[in-house]
Amino acid sequence: MTDTNPKKEIQQLQRVIVDALEDVKAQKLVVFNTEHLSSLFERVVIASGTSNRQTKALASSVRDAVREQGFGKPRVEGEENGEWIIVDCGMAVVHIMQPIIRQYYNLEEIWGYKPVRFKLGAPKPVAAKAAQPLAEIKKPTAKKPAAKKSVEAKKPTAKKTCSKKINPKKSSCQKNSW
């Protein structure tokens, strides 16, 4: 679809993508404006699917809907295993992930500073929090349980035992640990 107004065109593409994801029951759907971060695309869409089968169905739905609306043929990566599928729609990139993969990579932290409202009347989305600098992160201190004082807790010490010297040039002393 070629619209003379680029803002309107990206909004139309975004709406097609969101509708396609909602049709297949995508979970935790978010859209971010990335114009200020990348010149390659203007929107990042992140959605979760509960299984490999659902993530593949979500990607297929997006690919078909975008193509049917005349936006061109999107490129799809990761469909083989279905844990993380990327659908490149030109002005928008869609990440469809299983919840564990999504939590691990936390793309919201990378792209999440300008979330976009993708439904009319929806509340204004909240931006992701910036990552804490390493100096501010405090490691939790774990308390060690009190050591039991018993005979079994003590490690045996190594003792040196020597047998009678048969050959004066060779010593038969050995270090044994009991």
| Cα–Cα distance, 161 to 144 (Å, whole number) | 37
139 assigned to some structural domain = no
103 assigned to some structural domain = yes
| Cα–Cα distance, 35 to 30 (Å, whole number) | 16
Tens digit of each residue's pLDDT (9 = 90 or more) over 106-115:
998 887 666 6
What does each C-alpha distance from 149 to 33, 36, 142, 145 come to in angstroms? 62, 63, 21, 12
Q: What pLDDT is attached to residue 144?
A: 53
Tens digit of each residue's pLDDT (9 = 90 or more) over 128-150:
444 433 334 344 444 555 555 55
147 assigned to some structural domain = no
Strand order in the sheet with 27-33: 27-33, 43-48, 92-97, 84-88, 75-77
User: How large is the average pLDDT for residues 64-87?
Assistant: 94
| Cα–Cα distance, 1 to 49 (Å, whole number) | 28
110 assigned to some structural domain = yes
72 assigned to some structural domain = yes
Using pLDDT thresholds of 50, 70 and 90, give the confidence band for residue 35: confident
- Domains contained in the chain, number: 1
153 assigned to some structural domain = no
Residue 118's CATH number: 3.30.460.10
Domain range for 49:
6-129
